[in-house]
Amino acid sequence: MNDVNSFPQALTIAGTDSGGGAGIMADMKTMQECGVFSTAVVVAVTAQNTIGVQNFQAISPKLISEQFASLNDDFKIKACKTGMLADAEHVEVVYDNLKKYDFGPFVLDPVMIAKGGSQLLSDEGIDAIKNKLIKLATLVTPNMPEAERLIGSKIESQSGMLVAAKKIQDLGAKNVLIKGGHGDSEMVRDVVLLENGESFKMSSKRVHTIRTHGTGDTISSAIVSRLALGDDMKSAILYGKDFVEAAIKNTIQVGHGHGPLNHWA
C-alpha cells in the first residue's frame, strides 16, 4: 500500500519570531533547506525583530496539548526539538506530551536568554528543564552560559567544557553538545560528549559579525533534520556545525540589529 507518510518529517516545539530570524521561523527554514518537512507546536509568540524581543506571550497549555494531538493523529514525525519554552508550566506540558507520543530522537536546545538580553525562560523553567525535561533528551545543545546555568558553576577551560558535558550527561541527557560561540576567542571550540563515552571537539575560525541571530535554533534544527533522515548522532552533529557556519558566513543584509542568518547558504 502507498505509505502516505513516507516523506521525512520533523517537529519544532518553540516560540515564534516575528522578525523571521530565530525560533520556529529559523527552525522551519533550516528543516526545509535540509530536505525535511517541518511541523511546529507553538509554545509562545514573540513580538521581535533583529534589534530585540519587545514582548512575548505564552500559549495556553491546553492549546499546546491540542497541537501535539493534531500532529500525532496525522503525521509520522521522525525527530523533534524544543526551543523557547517560556516558563515551568510550559516545560511541564511539553514534558507530558513528549512522554505520551513517540516523535523520535529529541534534541533539547535549552534556550534561556536572547542575544538582545531578553529572558525567554524563567528561573523556575530552567529548573524544570534541569530536573525533568532533560531526562527525555537524546541530545542537549547548551551554549556556554546555558551550560554553566545547568551545572551551577563557571566553565573555565577547554577541559572544563568536557567536565561540564559529563555533568550535564549525568542530569539525564544521552548526548551533549556544548557550543563555544559565546566567547571572544579567535577559534570557536565546541565540545561533544556522546552516549557511548566518546568525546570530540569541533573548531572553526570566528566569523566577526553581529549577524548571529538564531544560530542556536539553526544548528539544532539542522541536527534534527539529519536525525529525521536517519543519520547517526555524530554525523548529524558534524553536519549541523557545517550548516550553521555556512549560514553565518554568507550573511544577508536584513534589519538593523543582530541580523538573520542565510539559511539557504
- Told to check if 214 binds ligand PLP by CB under 6 A, we report yes
Residue choice 58, 59, 86, 114 for contact with ligand PLP (CB under 6 A): 114
- Told to check if 213 binds ligand PLP by CB under 6 A, we report yes
- Told to check if 110 binds ligand PLP by CB under 6 A, we report no
Shortest Cβ 246–ligand PLP spacing (Å): 17
Long-range contacts of 68-73 (CB under 8 A, 24+ apart): 68/41, 68/97, 68/100, 68/101, 71/11, 71/39, 71/41, 71/101, 71/103, 72/101
Shortest Cβ 30–ligand PLP spacing (Å): 12
Residue choice 217, 231, 239, 243 for contact with ligand PLP (CB under 6 A): 217
Comparing every residue's Cβ against ligand PLP, the nearest one is 23
Biggest distance spanned by C-alpha atoms of the chain: 57
The contact mask relative to ligand PLP for 70-89 (x = CB under 6 A, - = no) is -------------xx-----
Residue choice 46, 49, 138, 225 for contact with ligand PLP (CB under 6 A): 46
Q: What angle do CA 17, 22, 25 make, to 5 degrees?
A: 65
* Residues near 224 by beta carbon (within 8 Å), at least 6 away in sequence: 10, 12, 31, 36, 79, 80, 81, 105, 107, 236
Shortest Cβ 179–ligand PLP spacing (Å): 11
Residue closer to ligand PLP (CB basis): 46 or 175: 46
